[in-house]
A and B are shown apart, each in its own frame.
Chain A
Amino acid sequence: MAPRPLSSYYLPFEQPLKAFDDRICKLEDLSKQNNMDLGADIAAQVAARERFLVETFSKLSSWERVQVARHVHRPQTADYVELMCEDFIELHGDRAFADDRAILTGFALMDGERFLLMGQHKGRDVHERAVCNFGLPQPEGYRKALWKMRLAEKYQLPIVSLIDTKGAAPDVGAEERGQSQAIAQNLMVMSGLKVPIVCIVIGEGGSGGALAIGVGDRFLIQEYAYFSVISPEGCASILWKDAERKAEAATALKLTASELLKLGIVDEIIPEPLGGAHRDPAAAARTLRATILRHLRELQTVPISQLLEQRYRKLRAIGKYREEVLEHVGAIVAD
């Protein structure tokens, strides 16, 4: 059975895929309409398509990976909620000012495990994107997340956080209402919350706006997601005054999953279906679900005081520097 194109939008480097998909569709339609047996031709095309995918995705550049992470049909938090959870009770509002739809929060049930699920959501169509502000949270989004996290702590529910944002909302209102304070507060409180926290970058991990729901016991990343201090465009315009040099910037920033693993920032890479999560959201969700369950169950065996100490040590260890440990004796490189 040929995989019907799940995504009708093709990234520049995916263009040959479009040709394959068109051909396969045409052959299928022909065989149906004329009752011809074109099985062999279809199988050949499917195999060639598969070969193309394997080859292309085995050597994606950093910038191409960023494009996959931003793919319009890449599954988002709400998709994963639908695909992974047996039940989800959404909880709204920061109890102070607004219900920021850029961050989704609620109680989730998955294979008997109850936890708080939160995540940025960009919106899947024009209407949703407008409502969700393209997944750029306002301070209220972070405060909503904080409020619900405190509730999770009270109910002793673990927390699963799905990260997918270009960054925190860059606008006047956000600054007036304390974007910095909202993010800082989350970083501080999450470091000490007395429940297990699993954070997963499922798309874009854009700077402080992503990290603001990303402090915990596990920091995982999907294969084609990225996590960066600044967007490649922003970096390029600072470095070369030219946002078009984003591909170079993406390479320089070492923002891909495997590079982050090497730097000791992420703990594990979650594999995606061939060609990225948007080619098979259901399969992506199955893997994600299994990974979440494994980590939740693992973390729940650790006594909370030990968990907090481990969480602190983990954050504490991030960074590379040189230190002269013993002066007069000689420099010792300790990074």
Chain B
Amino acid sequence: MAHAVPQRPNSSDTAVSRRVQTEGVFRKCDACGESVPVMALRRNLDVCPESGCGHHFQIGALRRVEITVDPDSFRELFGSIEPVDPLEFRARRSYAERLREAQRQTGLKEAVVCGEARIHGQDVVLAVMDCHFISGSMGSVVGEKITRAIEHATAMRRPIVIVCCSGGARMDEGALSLMQMAKTSAALYRHDQAGLACITVLTHPTLAGVSASFAFLGDVIIAEPKAMIGFTGAIVIEQTIKKKLPEGFQEAEFLLEHGQIDMVVERKNMRETLAKLLAFATHKPARRASATAEPIRMEGPEDAAAAQTEDGAIRPQGRAGGPAGRKRTAKQRKE
């Protein structure tokens, strides 16, 4: 389904080359049907500027990086990992040939770009999928690069932001693709256990093997308007149940209504929203440490329950390092 993006320039995704090639060219909006000048579209972050439309066009990974992170803050990681054809998969065309074509068309080696970046000055590790590369599907390389990005974030004690855009696991690598779901999820488990943040951004489409692994393992899950998100594709469901699907089924707003995601955010507000969330996710609990020490000055009982009743606040136990940690803080205060 993600193949349906027309008029994509063949060369690399740099802003300059694209501007030169596409100057004066119109693109038809899939939602409202209007022809939109490419430059106007680009200025509007590839969102249809027609009044009342606001259709979010699919964008490549590099463009997404450009509009999401602070200028010149992105440094690519793991860019030398390339796909192979482990099953020697042949259909109408060989997988190897399909890979070469996708590489030529997108200028990318695979369907994900990873790196370090800053968002409003905050350090993050970023992984961005590209739906133009074999529908953004996840094979060994996508799984490996996302896993490495997560591990890198864990090691650097930084939050990870993953922008998802994928038709699911890549068929051409068989069960190897399927297992990337487990691999990426295992890495996120360790990241989570280290108390570090993961924010996922679900863009059109986020389906199947990607949806049912890291996409839905975000601490906070954001979606772009109208993005199609789900496990089983709508067509398959319709064929199986032989009934018409509800209006807006599997669209971002539908998921929000059913409690599956935290928010739907327009592209123009995405950077700002990520920055705000990251500030919450990485804030230093400085004031909390001194506040916790308060009851200790009274030389009263040190158990948490008593401490809680002293100031009337309900405070989960062990947040500031337990009673021992508090005692030290109290001593330091005296000195």
Residue interface mask B62-86, A partner, CB < 8 A = 1 = 0000000000000000001111101
Q: Which residues on the B side are within 8 Å of A176 (C-beta)? A: 258
Q: Determine whether the beta carbon of B185 is less than 8 Å from that of A191.
A: yes
Q: Nearest CB to that of A327 among chain B residues? A: B80
Q: Can you report 21 residue pairs joining A to B where beta carbons are below 8 Å apart?
A: A172-B246, A179-B230, A188-B186, A188-B188, A188-B189, A191-B182, A215-B185, A229-B175, A229-B177, A229-B209, A230-B169, A239-B92, A240-B91, A253-B171, A265-B176, A316-B147, A319-B140, A320-B173, A321-B82, A321-B140, A322-B81
Q: For the complex, is A298 an interface residue (Cβ under 8 Å from B)?
A: no
Q: Which residues on the B side are within 8 Å of A178 (C-beta)? A: 216, 258-260
Minimum distance in angstroms from A163 CB to a CB of chain B = 12
Q: For the complex, is A290 an interface residue (Cβ under 8 Å from B)?
A: no
Q: Determine whether the beta carbon of B231 is less than 8 Å from that of A335.
A: no
Instruction: State in angstroms the CA–CA spacing of A187 and B237 once bound together.
Output: 23
Q: Determine whether the beta carbon of A228 is less than 8 Å from that of B178.
A: yes
Say what secondary structure dominates the interface of chain B.
helix
Complex partner residue of A322 from B82, B183, B215, B230, CB under 8 angstroms: B82
Q: Determine whether the beta carbon of B182 is less than 8 Å from that of A215.
A: yes
Q: Nearest CB to that of B245 among chain A residues? A: A172
Minimum distance in angstroms from A194 CB to a CB of chain B = 12
Q: For the complex, is A154 an interface residue (Cβ under 8 Å from B)?
A: no
Q: Determine whether the beta carbon of B86 is less than 8 Å from that of A180.
A: no
Complex partner residue of A318 from B176, B190, B258, CB under 8 angstroms: B176
Interface centre among A167, A168, A174, A181, by most B CB within 10 Å?
Answer: A181
Q: Which residues on the B side are within 8 Å of A260 (C-beta)? A: 175
Q: Which residues on the B side are within 8 Å of A234 (C-beta)? A: 236
Q: For the complex, is A45 an interface residue (Cβ under 8 Å from B)?
A: no
Q: Determine whether the beta carbon of B176 is less than 8 Å from that of A319.
A: yes
Instruction: State in angstroms the CA–CA spacing of A167 and B178 once bound together.
Output: 12
Q: For the complex, is A255 an interface residue (Cβ under 8 Å from B)?
A: yes
Q: Which residues on the B side are within 8 Å of A265 (C-beta)? A: 175-176, 179
| Smallest CB-CB A-B distances: 5 pairs | A319-B140, A191-B186, A187-B185, A320-B86, A170-B232
Q: Nearest CB to that of A175 among chain B residues? A: B230
Q: Which residues on the B side are within 8 Å of A180 (C-beta)? A: 211-212, 215-216, 229-231, 260
Complex partner residue of A320 from B169, B176, B189, CB under 8 angstroms: B176
Instruction: State in angstroms the CA–CA spacing of A312 and B259 once bound together.
Output: 31
Residue interface mask B199-210, A partner, CB < 8 A = 1 = 000000000110
Instruction: State in angstroms the CA–CA spacing of A312 and B143 once bound together.
Output: 14
Interface centre among A180, A238, A327, by most B CB within 10 Å?
Answer: A180
Q: Determine whether the beta carbon of A240 is less than 8 Å from that of B92.
A: yes
Residue interface mask B234-250, A partner, CB < 8 A = 1 = 00110011000110011
Beyond the given A172-B241, A227-B175, A321-B84, could you list 12 further A-B residue pairs with CB under 8 A, ordered by the A residue number? A168-B232, A180-B216, A184-B213, A187-B181, A188-B189, A228-B178, A229-B178, A230-B171, A240-B91, A265-B179, A318-B176, A321-B144
